Structure 1
Amino acid sequence: MGCHNTKKSVFSSMKMGLVISILCFLSLCLLNGWQTRFQPINPSSFSNRSRSRNVTILLWYWPFHRSFSLRGDMCWDLYRIPRCRLVDQRSMFPSADVVVFHNRELVQGQKLPFDLPRPQGQRWAWMSLEAPVYNGNLGKYANIFNMTITYRRDSDITIPYGQLLPKAAEEHLVDDVPLNKSSLVCWVVSNYRSQHKRSQVYKELSAVVPVKVYGRWTKTPLPSRALLPTISGCYFYLAFENSLSKDYITEKLWRNAYQGGAVPVVMGAPLGDYKAVLPPNSFIHVDEFASVKDLGEYLQQLAEDKKRYSEYFTWKQQWKVKLYTDWRERLCKICTQYDSLPQQKVYSDLEAWVNNT
């Protein structure tokens, strides 16, 4: 009898252990599923098993006629994006999954390859980092392109001028921001046009506070090595874009202001677009003030209040600036989203989409 009870007890323990093991396994599966579903995709986490074959991206011509090396498994070697083949040989057209056309060269007279039989399923991508006003006549491109590649967040592939990435634990030290600077407001501008909104705001602002202007317009150009050190001596930097357009936030903010160590005073995209991609209290938007005079007075008061001014740099405790300057990185990004893009999408009115600002 005792032996029978012992066996029964052992069997019960085994059953209980099995149930616990199964429950643990299911819990891990569920947890992993939640993490996979809700964590942002990081291209560097892709494995070579992500896709059964390479995606071939054909760049029809290099932007601004400046080419770069495409040797080897370049997308993987440089950016850890697997199974992504970036080529620029037009002979690869019949086997290309995506063919990319940069708009600047289309404006200058480059032709689309309508004379070639377009393989079934091949997608043509329209790419531009310009504001809409500089993209030329796009009405002739109705029902041609399947994909947009621009700085806009609603593009099929978004290629911003820059973005903020979370710092690793060991990067959380913040560089001291000088609080005694030589200039209140600085602006670097070469392409000055009096009809631009930014020029009008500058004229009004300079009547209220001193604005130090560098660049070809004032015959005080800054060599690249002097740009950021010069801006670091300014409390505020006018990160004014040459166009007021949706999501149009260029290196004037990401590099000049953020990396230069000045608080950016911004104008270009609507206030909501800046708030969507930048930490709060890290920039000052012109639209936040009833008048340019009010803006100027605020800048003066803020520069005198060292504690409040320093709070505009607290974002640096958690974030670091990532600049996008290499066209290869932008193009390799197509592969990270290729499988999730709509199969049959066509832009029936590209001009209307581009000008939807």
Structure 2
Amino acid sequence: MKKCFLLSFLCVLLLCLYNGWLRGLGGLTAINPTAVCNRGSNSSRNVTILLWYWPFGMSYNLEGDVCWDLYRIPHCRLVDDRSLFSSADVVVFHNRELIQGCQKLPLALPRSQRQRWAWMSLEAPVHNGNLRQFANIFNMTITYRRDSDVAAPYGELLPKETGGHLVANDLRNKSSLVCWVVSHYQMHHKRSQVYSELNAAVPVKVYGQWTKNSLSSTDLLPTISRCYFYLAFENSLSKDYITEKLWKNAYQGEAVPVVLGPPLTDYKAVAPPNSFIHVDEFVSVKDLGKYLQELAKDKKRYDEYFTWKQEWKVKLYTDWRERLCKICLQYNSLPRQKVYSDLSAWANS
């Protein structure tokens, strides 16, 4: 009897180990086989992201395995078919359309306890409208802020492959000391006040709709490249609000950015050291203007503002699909029962 029991036990043990080997590709280790199986099943399950409506009415193609084909993000299903609501793991709502009233939340539809609703906005708080109406509704935030559940910045730095080199600036191409591209100029904005003071100290070449000197998309970066410095001034001074004015216009335009927006610490957290000049670093705007004039005359010091390009490159985020696919990278690590009881307080903090 004991021999039969022992033989049966050994057969079951061998079968379990053999099954673990096939599933885990070498899983005969000190890992719990059940944990391995559970981990594999969770990680291989598709996470379905339903976009309830497209931001600003601009839709993109979702045919095929978009997240994998475009961004190498696996097990992520991106859809915009509302009939899939009941099976969606995450439903995403863009704030602008909700605030304008042209879209509504499907509050009447039965919602499973596992389904998460995500609030998405890339606007500064001043443009988000009244968020008090969304208390106790959303489980997830998708914004440019680093403390969002899913961070979706306007841009970021990625390390270059080894062997990168720096192409020296040809200062002979520089014809303007400072330039600025602005379309919506408002006198009460701090950036407008700083511009006025700076323009009184040094010449600032202004482009954009405000001066009826607009630049086409193809002319934007070549024009900025002819400037020593670019005013990457944000229209709102909000936490982490750093837009394409820095990432695209200045960094890709080959001009040293003079920044105005969130505090200096926010810029230091995402941008390379000695790659930008923050307005707050100077006692007065007049002192800033004097520094820019002196720096433009010193090629060695000026070139030091570009040494970061030896190791880093700029990545811009412009496709909504990429932002949405990033949800799947964070999905399993996010709290299951999180609810924003006061979304307004969080968004304005």
Work out whether the TM-score is over 0.5: yes
- 1:46-70 deviation digits (Å, cap 9, x = unpaired): xx97713100000000001000000
Q: Kindly indicate whether residue 216 of structure 2 is the aligned counterpart of residue 223 of structure 1.
A: yes
Give SS of 2:251's match.
Answer: helix
Which of 313, 329, 336 is residue 320 of structure 1 equivalent to?
313
Give SS of 2:53's match.
Answer: coil
Which of 279, 284, 306 is residue 286 of structure 1 equivalent to?
279
Give SS of 2:307's match.
Answer: helix
Which of 66, 76, 79 is residue 84 of structure 1 equivalent to?
76
Q: 1:208 to 1:50 in 2, by over 3 A?
A: farther
Instruction: Tell me the residue number matched to 2:154.
Output: 161
- In structure 1, how many angstroms separate the alpha carbons of the residues matched to 2:323 and 2:42? 19
Instruction: State the superposition RMSD in angstroms.
Output: 1.3
- What is the number of equivalent residue pairs in this alignment? 310
Q: Kindly indicate whether residue 67 of structure 2 is the aligned counterpart of residue 58 of structure 1.
A: no
Runs (4+) of structure 1 exceeding 3 A deviation are none
Which of 119, 123, 139 is residue 126 of structure 1 equivalent to?
119
Instruction: Tell me the residue number matched to 1:269.
Output: 262
Give SS of 1:91's match.
Answer: helix
Write the letter of the residue equivalent to 1:162: G
Instruction: Tell me the residue number matched to 2:67.
Output: 75
* Equivalences for residues 146-225 of structure 1 within 5 A: 146-170=139-163, 172-180=164-172, 181-225=174-218
Which of 68, 87, 103 is residue 95 of structure 1 equivalent to?
87
- 1:183-207 deviation digits (Å, cap 9, x = unpaired): 0000000011111010000000000
- In the TM superposition, what is the alpha-carbon distance from 1:241 to its structure 2 partner? 0.3
- In structure 1, how many angstroms separate the alpha carbons of the residues matched to 2:124 and 2:306? 29
Unaligned runs of 5+ in 2: 1-28, 30-39
- 1:104-130 deviation digits (Å, cap 9, x = unpaired): 111110110011011121000000000
Instruction: Tell me the residue number matched to 1:6.
Output: none
Write the letter of the residue equivalent to 2:169: V
Write the letter of the residue equivalent to 1:206: N
- In structure 2, how many angstroms separate the alpha carbons of the residues matched to 1:52 and 1:73? 14
- In the TM superposition, what is the alpha-carbon distance from 1:269 to its structure 2 partner? 1.1
User: TM (normalized to structure 1)?
Assistant: 0.85
Give SS of 1:342's match.
Answer: coil
Which of 328, 332, 345 is residue 325 of structure 2 equivalent to?
332
Give SS of 2:50's match.
Answer: strand
Give SS of 2:145's match.
Answer: coil
Give SS of 2:113's match.
Answer: coil
- In structure 2, how many angstroms separate the alpha carbons of the residues matched to 1:95 and 1:178? 56
Could you tell which deviates more after superposition, 307-316 or 176-185? 176-185
Unaligned runs of 5+ in 1: 1-28, 30-47
Q: 1:83 to 1:350 in 2, by over 3 A?
A: same
Give SS of 1:294's match.
Answer: helix
Give SS of 1:121's match.
Answer: coil
Does the CA-based 8 Å contact 2:53-2:93 persist in structure 1? Answer: yes
- In the TM superposition, what is the alpha-carbon distance from 1:245 to its structure 2 partner? 0.2
- 1:77-105 deviation digits (Å, cap 9, x = unpaired): 11010110000000010000000000011
Write the letter of the residue equivalent to 2:206: V
Give SS of 1:207's match.
Answer: helix
- In the TM superposition, what is the alpha-carbon distance from 1:177 to its structure 2 partner? 1.7
Does the CA-based 8 Å contact 2:234-2:261 persist in structure 1? Answer: yes
Does the CA-based 8 Å contact 2:168-2:303 persist in structure 1? Answer: no
- In structure 2, how many angstroms separate the alpha carbons of the residues matched to 1:122 and 1:175? 50
Write the letter of the residue equivalent to 1:66: M
Write the letter of the residue equivalent to 1:240: F
Q: Kindly indicate whether residue 291 of structure 2 is the aligned counterpart of residue 295 of structure 1.
A: no
Instruction: Tell me the residue number matched to 2:5.
Output: none
Give SS of 1:312's match.
Answer: helix
- In structure 2, how many angstroms separate the alpha carbons of the residues matched to 1:297 and 1:325? 36
- In structure 1, how many angstroms separate the alpha carbons of the residues matched to 2:170 and 2:97? 43
Give SS of 1:116's match.
Answer: coil
Which of 98, 102, 111 is residue 106 of structure 1 equivalent to?
98
Instruction: Tell me the residue number matched to 1:305.
Output: 298
Write the letter of the residue equivalent to 1:329: E
- In structure 2, how many angstroms separate the alpha carbons of the residues matched to 1:70 and 1:133? 32
